[in-house]
Amino acid sequence: MRRLFFIFSIIMLTYCLGCATPVNKDISQKPASKPATTSKSVELPREQKLNMDKARQVANVYRMLDIQKVTQNFNPVILKDIAMNTPFTAAYLSRCDIDTLRVLIASGWAPSVIIQTPGGQKHIRIVLGYNHPPERLALVDIENPDNLMGLDEGYADFQKQWDRKTCVVFDRDITEHMLKLALSKYLSSEKAASIGITTR
């Protein structure tokens, strides 16, 4: 009986080994890593220029606020206070750069900035367009919104004169949500999140 059981066990073991599927695994190979998923922002248009009517509308807001010439002590904090305490819909942005201005323009908004010229004079200028390359900005002084051609400035010179890298947007259709959507569309999530936004 034991002999029969032993023979039966050998037969079953042989059968099981024959049915098993061999697995050839190279333990030296590391499991393939999943590709990293990154959200790629949309590329900004190479060139963009808003209609002069946009500049006139913004210049008219400053006229209604009785701001046409600014004094030496005029600064972004004063501009923010003015923008946040007017009957007009406005947004104040801080920690900006050239790309921030390009996003605003590409989205149809005309940001205004404080510029301090090499002579020490301060001006409020509306950024109406850009060309990238050759890295030029089209600016309009609020004192003379029709003088567009004479205010073409390169990025490098502009950044030297740009007071505290801030800007204000006067537009009846602007909201914080819309600004965040526009910034996140064209900029990386980290860069978009670093820009300070205050709206009224």
**Per-residue pLDDT reduced to its tens digit, 174-186:** 999 999 999 999 9
SS3 content of the chain, % helix, strand, coil (to 5): 40, 20, 40
Peptide bond into 134 cis (omega under 30): yes
Domains delineated in the chain: 47-199 (3.90.70.10)
pLDDT in tens, 153-168: 999 999 999 999 999 9
How many Å from the N-terminal Cα to the C-terminal Cα in the chain? 96
In this predicted structure, the answer to whether residue 14 has a pLDDT above a threshold of 60 is no
DSSP 25: -
pLDDT in tens, 139-154: 998 887 766 555 889 9
pLDDT in tens, 17-65: 344 444 444 434 444 444 444 455 899 999 999 998 999 899 999 999 9
| Cα–Cα distances in angstroms (integers) from residue 2 to residues 5, 8, 11, 54, in the given order | 5, 10, 14, 102
